[in-house]
Amino acid sequence: MENDNNRQLGTLYLIPNTLGNENRQVQIPSVLPQASIEQAARLQYWIVENAKTARAFLKEIHLYQPLSHSLQSLIMNEWRGEERNAKFKDQSQARDLLKPLLDGKDVGLMSEAGVPGVADPGADIILAAHALGAKVKPLIGPSSILLGLMASGLNGQRFCFHGYIPVDQNERQKKLKQLEQNSHQLQETQIWIETPYRNQAMLEACLQILKPKTKLCVAVHLSLADETIWTASIEEWKKRYPNPKASEGLLHNRPAIFLMLA
């Protein structure tokens, strides 16, 4: 769909969120620049994963920058990651959520954590905004992928993010071996995430499957008060955590990101 030159379209702002909802009053000024906070406070129209949690985030934003519109008057349309294939296969459905842009209204796109469009189906909305001819404005905020890579000490010149890898034990083992082989051949850092309650199983699989000299970084609760980041070879990991019980305290069902370089 082409932009009508006689019509001024609104801007789609990509609003960063904190990486966790714990103690956001402390988190927000630590991870969000003032410009991002101010822009979030100005918007009335939103596309979010969950309206309730989005309003809770903006309520905390209000402590640092008064909202231009009351929480009750915010217009929030929901989208969810699990609906991506079904709901956004037809781009016209994504465009429906961007109708305020056609009236010259700015719209905010917010993920549940981190930045929209990265490990996040918000890319569908962003692509639809481009098709409309609207301006897309990304704002600065925390990304667990980049923070983990920065802190890992692994190759930051060549890396690949894989999202989630298979849950099935056999398929997961095959995937880990494949990632390790790719990493060795390309000298490329491999990055992936896991559902928090499966983090322990993922770590145990890594220690079982990966080669002794392969380096593994696990970054837990990035940007939060109890943040933990450690990079070491698999043989060093096994020395520190010789059995599953020894490593139980590391993850505690907390969000984590895994990085590996063979």
The CATH architecture annotation of domain 11-138 reads 3-Layer(aba) Sandwich (3.40)
225 falls in which pLDDT band (50, 70, 90)? Answer: confident
Mean pLDDT across the stretch 229-257? 90
Contact by Cβ (8 Å): 54, 48: yes
Q: Which residues pair with 138 in a beta bridge?
A: 14
SS (H, E, C) 57-74: HHHHHCCCCCCCCCHHHC
Q: What are the pLDDT digits (tens) for 39-85?
A: 999 999 999 999 999 999 999 999 999 999 999 999 999 886 554 44
Residues of the chain with CATH 3.40.1010.10: 11-138
Residue 23 pLDDT: 79
* H-run or E-run covering 76: strand 75-78
DSSP code of residue 88? S
* pLDDT of 190 higher than 80: yes
Instruction: Tell me which of 3.40.1640.10, 3.30.950.10, 3.20.20.150, 3.40.30.10 is the CATH number of domain 144-261.
Output: 3.30.950.10
Q: How far apart are CA 131 and CA 125, in angstroms?
A: 10
* pLDDT of 109 higher than 50: yes
Q: What is the largest CA-CA distance in the chain?
A: 68
Q: Where are the beta strands (DSSP E) in 79-197?
A: 107-110, 135-138, 159-164, 189-193
Token couple for 102: 């056609």
Q: How far apart are CA 10 and CA 45, in angstroms?
A: 11
Q: What are the pLDDT digits (tens) for 130-179?
A: 999 999 999 999 999 999 999 999 999 999 999 999 999 999 999 999 99
Q: What does DSSP say about strands 228-233 and 215-220: parallel, antiparallel, or unpaired?
A: antiparallel
Q: How far apart are CA 234 and CA 258, in angstroms?
A: 13
Residues of the chain with CATH 3.30.950.10: 144-261
* pLDDT of 90 higher than 90: no
